[in-house]
Amino acid sequence: MVTDLTEKQAREKILDQVSEYYIKYHVKDEYKDGDRISYAARIYDSQELINLVDSSLEFWLTSGRYTNRFEKEFAEFIGAKYCALVNSGSSANLLAFMALTSPLLGERAIGKDDEVITVAAGFPTTIAPIIQYGAIPVFVDVTIPQYNIDITLLEKAYTKRTKAVMLAHTLGNPFNIKAVNEFCHSHNLWLIEDNCDSLGSKYYYNGEWRYTGTIGDIGTSSFYPPHHMTMGEGGAVYTNNSFLSKIIRSMRDWGRDCECPSGVDDFCGHRFDRQYGGLPLGYDHKYVYSHFGYNLKATDMQAAIGCAQLKKLPDFIQKRKENFTFLYKNLLGASNKIILPETEKASDPSWFGFLITCSDARRNQIVEHLENNRIQTRMLFAGNLLMHPCFENMKRNAKGYRVIGDLVNTDRIMRDSFWVGVYPGMTEAMLTKMVNCIKDQI
Ligand SMILES: Cc1ncc(COP(=O)(O)O)c(C=O)c1O
């Protein structure tokens, strides 16, 4: 019973019990041959559970002290001035893109029918916001075995309507940021880095190593469980541009003009003394809207888990790199039969997975063999997004998107590529089993 305790003592008692609960019910047995080898999993200890329960006991629920802490610490980690926590990586992409449509950006705002250069080999919600808004995604091919944009096609894709480039760093492998950024600067375009699969990847830029997601105008992250760190559902949008940050926060928080944090009134001291739009002088600033926004905030419970995960992130990144290297070294002898992934120049990837391209239409056979041996596999998400039912209507009308050349490599990825995991929970026994099973079938 906790009735005779102070609130602080009661909380401590509960949190001690949470620690015990974690040890008794959450600590897993070591991997044995025959166990399933998943491509990714949450890695956590009692601290994530403690933070989660601590936050739920407070019952603040919406963004609060853990959110503030997470946004500050995440921004410090990644080297961005501003970070906004959101409820998913897809929401992060939506928000990043929509921020660039803000009328406050004047001529640089992305408008309907403006074009955004991207690739079709990837995850659908990198592209969905472009289409949903009514802008035109312009698809170019990727290279194999880097699986990133073919930068030689950038100029071909450019028209007077091009306003932005929006790309993911595929499975942790940074795209050629130098070339893409130079292209963007030369045409005055925005660059959104979808960093959802590459948290912790670095790129050598202007004489220093920088985290991906911080070199373009806006970067995005996902904290869905398979990703580099998790809070269940969650995402982040980050930038070094204070004006963009203001727009991002406005659009995340219902489109409002005011910057009061949740539960705070009159943060700026001018709640009732200004005039906006056609509103009467003194209209409550809390209810003044400078954008047509959303509510994309995460809960403080998610942020609480994120604060604990962030402390583990450097180790997670290191382990992912080691696991990738193990697979690479042990599969190198088979590189005449399968195409191994190649790190982009000037980069230090924090890998999300180990991507393989097969020859002779053997992909499905190899994948089946791995799955039969309880090794989980994944495709490069959509393969070629244009081949999916969601594109059928647009194809019928032959409008709403453009394709530059033929997407030969994108199609090949759809047919011949798959990936296996390198998440930090993998042991040498698991990795060895994966190597042997792949070698069995090639
Ligand atoms: C490249 C990329 N962008 C965006 C997302 C979307 O993230 P979420 O699942 O958090 O919405 C994912 C999901 O895995 C992804 O791989």
Distances (CA, A) of 217 to 10, 212, 394: 46, 11, 29
Across the beta sheet with 208-211, what order do the strands follow?
Answer: 208-211, 202-205, 347-348
Q: Which of 203, 143, 66 lies closest to 341, judged by CA?
A: 143
Expressed in angstroms and rounded, the spacing between residue 97 Cα and the centre of ligand 1 is 14
At 2 the pLDDT is: 57
Distance CA 120, CA 442 (A): 28
At 1 the pLDDT is: 56
* Strand, helix or coil for residue 62: coil
Expressed in angstroms and rounded, the spacing between residue 18 Cα and the centre of ligand 1 is 31
Distances (CA, A) of 300 to 53, 57, 237, 253, 416: 11, 11, 17, 15, 42
Distances (CA, A) of 56 to 64, 106, 151, 304: 12, 43, 47, 9
User: What DSSP character marks residue 106?
Assistant: G
Atom number of ligand 1 nearest to Cα 170: 1
Atom number of ligand 1 nearest to Cα 226: 14
Q: Whose CA is nearest to atom 3 of ligand 1?
A: 196
Expressed in angstroms and rounded, the spacing between residue 168 Cα and the centre of ligand 1 is 10
Residues taking part in catalysis: 227
User: What DSSP character marks residue 170?
Assistant: G
Per-residue pLDDT of the chain (442 residues; tens, 9 = 90+): 557 999 999 999 999 999 999 999 999 999 999 999 999 999 999 999 999 999 999 999 999 999 999 999 999 999 999 999 999 999 999 999 999 999 999 999 999 999 999 999 999 999 999 999 999 999 999 999 999 999 999 999 999 999 999 999 999 999 999 999 999 999 999 999 999 999 999 999 999 999 999 999 999 999 999 999 999 999 999 999 999 999 999 999 999 999 888 788 888 889 999 999 999 999 999 999 999 999 999 999 999 999 999 999 999 999 999 999 999 999 999 999 999 999 999 999 999 999 999 988 899 999 999 999 999 999 999 999 999 999 999 999 989 999 999 999 999 999 999 999 999 999 999 999 999 999 998 8
At 110 the pLDDT is: 98
Distances (CA, A) of 70 to 42, 234, 296, 302, 309: 18, 12, 16, 10, 10
Residues 6+ apart with CB under 8 A from 365: 441
- The pair of structure tokens assigned to 232 is 């269940």
To the question of pTM greater than 0.95 for the whole model, the response is yes
Atom number of ligand 1 nearest to Cα 91: 11
Q: Whose CA is nearest to atom 10 of ligand 1?
A: 89
Expressed in angstroms and rounded, the spacing between residue 95 Cα and the centre of ligand 1 is 13
Residues 6+ apart with CB under 8 A from 272: 282, 283, 284, 285
Expressed in angstroms and rounded, the spacing between residue 112 Cα and the centre of ligand 1 is 24
Name every protein residue with a CB atom under 6 angstroms from any ligand 1 atom: 88-90, 93, 122-123, 125-126, 168, 194, 196-197, 222, 224, 235
Atom number of ligand 1 nearest to Cα 93: 4
